[in-house]
Amino acid sequence: MTATMTTTGLGASIVMSVVQLVMIVLGGPIVLGVMAKVRARAEGRIGAPVHQPLRDLRKLLTKEPIHAEHSSAVLAIAPFVLVGTAAVAIAVSPLVTTAPVLAHSADLFVVVFLLLMGSVALALAGLDAGTAFGGMGSSRAMTIGALAEPALLVAILALSVQAGTSNLPKIVAATLAHPSWAAGPERLLAFVAFLIVVLAETGRIPVDNPSTHLELTMVHEAMVLEYAGPELAIVTLGEAMRLGFLLSLAASLFLPWGIATSTNPLNLLIAVVALSAKVVVIAVGVALLEVRTAKLRLFRVPELLTGGFVLAVLSVVTGLVTR
Amino acid sequence: MTLFLVGLGLGLAGAMAGATLPARLRVITTAVCGSGACVVTFAAATRVLASNHSVNFHSGAVLPLTGIDLTLDPLGALFIATTAVVGLAAICYSVGYTEHALRSRSAMAMFPLFLTSLLLVPATSSVATFLVAWELMALTSMLLLLVEHRHSEAARDAYQWYATMTHLGAAAILIGLVLLAAHSGGQTFTDIGTHSAALSPALRSIAFLLVLVGFASKAGAVPLHVWLPRAHPEAPSPVSALMSGAMVNLGVYGIIRVGGSLLGGGFLWWWLVVIGLGVISAFYGALHASASSDLKRLLAYSTVDNIGLVLIAVGAAGALSVTGHRALAALAMLAALFHLINHSVFKGCLFLGAGAVERATGTRDLDRLGGLARRLPLTAVLFAIGAFSISALPGFNGFASEWLLLESLLHGFAAHGAATLVALLAGVAALALTGGLTAAAFVKALGIGFLGQPRSDGANSAHEVAPSMLAGMALLAIPCVVIGVAPGLLASPLRRASAVALGAASVTPLRPGLGLDLSGAAGAVQPLLLVIAVLAAMALTAAVVRLVGRRGARRAEAWGCGRELQTARMEYTATSFAEPLGRVFADVLRPDHDIEVTHVAESRYFAQAVRYQTRADDGIERSIYRPVINLVSLWGAFARRAQNGSVHRYLAYGFVALVVVLVALA
């Protein structure tokens, strides 16, 4: 496996990273559409077509840009930081291939801190216009983020301890080499913790309701309330990319089969199809979960996230005890 | 060594100039001498780090009986170089700062003396010299605490706490070191180092615990941190920067020097205690930082947090070294020293930035700030660099060292022994928890303090501070970015220093290069490439938006739920920003809430005014220190009653005592 990784040329790596990027940039919004569709069907509605989020993005991009009166450059730059950091995280992570560009630096901690950078940028933007809503959203988002980040870090750390490295492509390669790991107790615990974090980081029910605009319950929506037009499109795209990325990362880390370990175009095609299938399955599962649960009160969310953190720590402990 | 002595001499000359020259010449002469001291000692330290050769100096002339012993080895040189950089920035900053404060004769004499003592401590190599330098550092910093707010209640309170804690700590260090010196037949560090292996385990453990108490209190480790969130905010800002950026380092230095190189590593449980201190400090400091709304208090608590992270790594290095994992120990020690340097740089920058904010607006209460990015644009950018560094965002130096810390703990899991593993797991959990809390705290500091609309007249009428103050901040902000994108530059000095710290042959945990590439284990990161990639992705997205979308943003009023007029009073404040986290961690923070409702005279159903106040005092101070203080003052009250000055009463005491003695003897 290592041999394959090192012999892959730079050109091939770039091509595969671009494939990953295109997949997530287009696929992220479609995943949102699929989740909305599943929700609609489960509630007895027909629902919008699955590519509706992409249409919304196109519509928003052509609208007039508007900035709030007292805002500074932070408001204008933050969306690009969000998308830029998400794009780099996507490009270097092993989603379609185990040999993406910069695979050497594709580190678990790098990915977590890149996502943190996007969150910090957006939280600062929420405070920039000096409104009550923006501050409320930023405060809540940072609270949830402060509790979700440790769970995410420790959940992936559990896999790193098992594989002896924090390099994501190497973790995936090690899992492929030891298929029995995937069913181990530490993997299951880490997977549940990871899913809880994904729900929190991407603002899904039961942590946040992406379709609400009620003051008392908004978290993410309050933070980005001042965005309009193209910048709103970029923020929405960034959020969709993060959702797509986290779901794909879950698929790659916990069920890596199908991922391309060579530059063979056929393998690549299989990998794209396999990743799409895995992500759609997880997304449908999350959507069904959303239909069946109510949103938690804001101050019950920490209990959920603490649960995730504890599961992640237990996963590391299990890994250490059973090795 | 001559170079280093010249540097110290320049520092002393600065102190003399400050004490004697007239006001006009005083500021510029001390600044020139002080910065000369920093530059020269920095050169001396880098020479030692580059050549990896220690140099010694002994003189019988200065201290009677023992003389002074100085040694510049790579470990000490690393600390001296760090102090010199922070010191240079603080001095540069103080030129502009002294227009209003810190220009009195005593302050101008103490400031260079404090700096000189900070540079001197890591170079001392005998118990007597060390203690003299240590006391000089404590006394000068105590006096500097008082110069700016001689009449302020808070400063006097901080001074009392600091004086008590630092003297108790110094007493513990004194006893510990003297105990070692007495049993190893010499008071130089070389004597102690060569004889320590022959000392009894109990003696070594007692000595280590004593010095650990002293050094941990200087480093600000919980529960000995209580002075730090009082003293660091109340000191003048250049002094705060030196305290948080250089003085706390020396606490860690002491632990490493005594535990690692003098006592040769000692026992596993010592280092588990250190990890425990680190875990508690990291978590407690980060939590209080995220709850504070006083900008400098927030920074002080985040110092407690970061020192905790460093102690976790120091403890891990010690534990791994004792259990025979040399390469892993070297990696952890390297991570600890790296984070310590980075913390000095970004915390120095942040404290200077907080001082600039205080100078420009007259307050450091975040609830009264806001909108400063427009009024102090350069300060805002420099403060933001510090804030991003401490939040460990990729491309800034905090990320590089936190990455190394996490890697060293992760690879430490390869070790065996349940106690070590549990300690490492606690360390990882603390690191993970503090990461998010720190980000929240600094989004608050930056977002509430610098963005939005001003919340007070002071913030509204603020102007950019003096150029020399900006230059001082820039001197520390630039290294944040340079180390952030090319952390590999520091690999070789760090490796040499950590080899001395562990008293072992040099293991190379990092491959050469601009990024960080672990040689013993799998793991690498190239921050430069990541930064370029992120910037490229941002530029590409912006280009697409420009091509597809319409240009020229229109300004419109922010959405206020249908309200026409929005004022700064409707904004979220630092207190409200921190409220959810405060509520989540209410068990640890235990905040006090006061709500006062004034009703209208006609009916109790209508409130005229509501006053809400919330405060998160230090819980450890309340539950551990207050009872002790109460006991002491109770004893004082009793002593005062017993001694009322009446001669008759004293005669009666004498008589009673005599009778008791006679009865007892009979």
- Which residue of chain A has the CA closest to B438? A146
Is residue B142 one of the residues assigned to a domain?
Answer: no
- Span A234-251, average pLDDT: 95
Beta bridge partners of B599: B607
What are the two backbone dihedrals, phi and then psi, of residue B22, each rounded to the nearest 5 degrees?
Answer: -70, 160
CB contact under 8 A, B433 and A150: yes
- The answer to whether residues B352 and B410 belong to one domain is yes
SS3 B267: coil
Q: What are phi and psi of B274, to 5 degrees?
A: -60, -45
Integer Cα distance of B361 and B363 in angstroms: 6
| Distance of alpha carbon A15 from alpha carbon A7, whole angstroms | 15
Burial B273-302 (b: 16+ CB within 10 A, else e): bbbbbbbbbbbbbbbbbbbbbbbbbbbbbb
Does residue B434 surpass a pLDDT of 50?
yes
Q: Which two tokens stand for residue A41?
A: 């069907």
Does the beta carbon of A157 lie under 8 angstroms from any beta carbon of chain B? yes
**For residues A224-243, average pLDDT:** 93
Query: pLDDT tens across A50-64, in order?
Result: 999 999 999 999 898
A147 touches chain B (CB under 8 A): yes
Secondary structure (DSSP) of A236-276: HHHHHHHHHHHHHHHHHHH--TT-BSS--HHHHHHHHHHHH
Q: What percent of chain B has pLDDT over 90?
A: 61
Same structural domain, B572 and B661: no
The mean per-residue pLDDT over the stretch B401-428 comes to 91
- How high is the ipTM of this complex? 0.94
Contacts of A135 in chain B (CB under 8 A): 447-448, 452, 571-573, 576-577
Residue B399 lies in a domain: yes
If one compares A264 and A240, the residue with the highest pLDDT of the two is A240
* CA dihedral sign of residues B253, B165, B303, B464: negative
Q: What is the pLDDT of residues A104-128, one digit of tens each?
A: 888 889 999 999 999 999 999 999 9
Spatial distance between the Cα atoms of B574 and B365, rounded to a whole number of angstroms = 9
Q: Which residues of B touch A229 (CB under 8 A)?
A: 549-550
Q: Average pLDDT of chain A?
A: 89
Non-local (6+) Cβ contacts of B471 within 8 A are B92, B93
Looking at the fold, whether B445 and B495 belong to one and the same domain comes out as yes
In tens, the pLDDT along A67-106 reads 988 888 999 999 999 999 999 999 999 999 888 888 888 8
**Is B350 inside a domain boundary?**
yes
Out of B194-203, B359-368, B377-386, the most confident range is B377-386
Distance separating alpha carbons of residues B51 and A38, to the nearest angstrom: 67
For every residue of B1-61, DSSP letters joined together read: -HHHHHHHHHHHHHHHHHHHS-HHHHHHHHHHHHHHHHHHHHHHHHHHHHHT--EEEEESS
Distance between CA B74 and CA B56 in Å, rounded? Answer: 12
Chain A residue numbers with beta carbons less than 8 Å from the beta carbon of B428 are: 154, 157, 316
Chain A residues close to B577, C-beta within 8 Å? 135, 138-139, 142
Measure in Å the smallest separation between the Cα of B373 and chain A Cα atoms: 8
Q: How far is B586 from chain A (nearest CA, A)?
A: 12
Q: Distance from A292 to chain B by nearest Cα, in Å?
A: 26
- CB contacts under 8 A, A 263-302 vs B, are 298-299, 302
Pick from B584, B610, B636: which residue ends a domain?
Answer: B584
Task: Judge if B429 and B578 occupy the same domain.
Answer: yes
More confident: B522 or B401: B401
Q: Among B161-175, B248-262, B413-427, B605-619, which is the least confidently predicted range?
A: B605-619
* More confidently predicted of B124 and B506: B124
User: Cβ distance B101 to B144 under 8 Å?
Assistant: no
Report whether B510 contacts B518 (CB < 8 A).
Answer: yes
Produce one character per residue of A27-66: b if its CB has 16 or more CB atoms within 10 Å, e if not: bbbbbbbbbbbbbeeeeeeebeebebbbebbeebbeeebb
Tell me which of A71, A88, A235 to substitute to probe the interface with B (most B C-beta atoms closer than 10 Å): A88
Query: What is the value of pTM for the model shown?
Result: 0.94
Please give the torsion angle defined by the CA atoms of residues B517, B521, B522 and B524, in that order, rounded to the nearest 10 degrees. Answer: -20
Residue B250's pLDDT is 96
Residues in chain A: 323
**Using the 8-state DSSP alphabet, how is residue A297 labeled?**
P
Q: Into how many domains does chain B fold?
A: 2
Residue-number span of the structural domain to which B648 is assigned? 619-665
Both tokens of B423, joined, read 């300690």
Residues A194 and A250 sit within 8 Å (Cβ to Cβ): yes
Q: What is the pLDDT of residue B149?
A: 65
R_g of chain A, CA atoms, integer Å: 19
Q: Which among A24, A25, A69, A120 is the top mutation candidate for probing chain B, defined by the most B β-carbons within 10 Å of its own β-carbon? A: A120
Q: Where is average pLDDT lowest: B7-21, B196-210, B507-521?
A: B507-521
The pLDDT assigned to A6 comes to 45
Percent of chain B at pLDDT > 70 equals 98
Q: Is residue B317 part of a domain?
A: yes
Containing B331, the helix (H) or strand (E) segment is helix B326-361
A232/B contact by beta carbon, under 8 A = no
Q: Do B308 and B451 reside in the same domain of the chain? A: yes
Residue B479 has pLDDT above 60, yes or no: yes
The pLDDT-based confidence of B520 (bands split at 50, 70, 90) is low
Residue B524: pLDDT over 90: no
Please, is A1 exposed, middle or buried when counting C-beta atoms within 10 Å of its C-beta (0-12, 13-18, 19+)?
A: middle
Instruction: Please check the confidence at residue A213 and state whether its pLDDT lies above 80.
Output: no
CA nearest neighbour of B8 among B170, B121, B93: B121
Q: Which residue has the higher pLDDT, A230 or B614?
A: A230
Q: By C-alpha distance, which of A16, A90, A125, A52 is closest to A249?
A: A90
Q: Of B53, B84, B86, which is closest to residue B71 (Cα–Cα)? A: B53
Give yes or no: residues B650 and B573 share one domain: no
DSSP labels, A80-116:
HHHHHHHHHHHHHS-SSBS--TTGGG-BHHHHHHHHH
Question: Could you give the dihedral angle defined by the CA atoms of residues B14, B16, B21 and B25, in that order, rounded to the nearest 10 degrees?
Answer: 0
Task: Write the DSSP string, B452-521.
Answer: S--SSHHHHT-----HHHHHHHHHHHHHHHHHHH-GGGGHHHHHHHHHHHHTSPPP--B-SSSSEEBSSS
Q: What does the pLDDT read at residue B162?
A: 93
Q: CB contacts < 8 Å between A and B, how many?
A: 272
Asked whether A162 and B603 are in contact (CB, 8 A), the reply is no
Residues B459 and B397 occupy one common structural domain: yes
Q: Contact at 8 Å (CB) between A224 and A232?
A: yes
Distance from the first to the final alpha carbon of chain A? 22
Residue B187 covered by a domain: no
DSSP structural state of residue A202: T
Instruction: Quote the CA–CA distance of B183 and B556 in Å, as a whole number.
Output: 77
Which residues in A lie closer than 8 A to residue B436 (C-beta atoms)?
116, 145-150
Count of beta carbons in the 10 Å neighbourhood of residue B650:
13
Whether B634 and B579 share a structural domain: no
Cα separation, B551 vs B536, whole angstroms: 21
Q: Is B560 among the domain residues? A: no
Please provide the DSSP assignment of B553-585 as one string.
Answer: PEEEPPP-TT-S---GGGS--HHHHHHHHHHHT
Contact status of A65 with chain B (Cβ, < 8 Å): yes
> Collapsing DSSP states into helix, strand and coil, what is residue B548?
helix
Mean pLDDT of B211-228: 93
Name chain A contacts of B413, Cβ cutoff 8 Å: 161, 320
Rounded CA separation B491/B497 (Å): 10
Same domain, B577 and B656: no
Residues of A in contact with B393 (CB under 8 A): 113, 116-117, 120
B507 and B634 assigned to the same domain: no
* Same domain assignment for residues B428 and B359: yes
Task: Give A132→chain B minimum CA distance, Å.
Answer: 5
Name the residue facing B556 among A66, A109, A320 (closest C-beta): A66
Query: What's the pLDDT tens digit per position in A290-304?
Result: 888 888 888 888 999
| Structural domain contains residue B626 | yes
Cβ distance A105 to B529 less than 8 Å, yes or no, reads yes
Sign of the Cα torsion B306, B309, B315, B317 reads negative
DSSP assignments along B273-286, one per residue: HHHHHHHHHHHHHH
For residue A7, pLDDT over 60 is answered with no
Of A91, A129, A298, the CB nearest to B558: A129
**Mean pLDDT across chain B, nearest whole number?**
90
pLDDT at B86 over 60: yes
Smallest CA–CA distance, residue B611 to chain A, in Å, is 19
Clarify whether residues B575 and B630 are in a common domain. Answer: no
Flag if B559 and A69 touch (Cβ within 8 Å).
no
B598 SS3 class? strand
Q: How many CB atoms neighbour CB B464 within 10 A?
A: 16
* Structure confidence at residue B164 (pLDDT): 92
Model confidence at B514, in pLDDT bands (50, 70, 90)?
A: confident
Q: In DSSP terms, which residues pair with B610 in a beta bridge?
A: B597
Q: Tokens for B72? A: 């510049």
Amino acid B469: pLDDT: 94
Q: Read off the tokens for A274.
A: 């396999």
Do residues B429 and A154 make contact, with C-beta atoms less than 8 angstroms apart?
yes
- Residue A91 has its nearest CB partner, among B524, B533, B584, at B533
Are A135 and B579 a contacting pair at CB < 8 A?
A: no
Residue B181 lies inside a defined structural domain of this protein: no
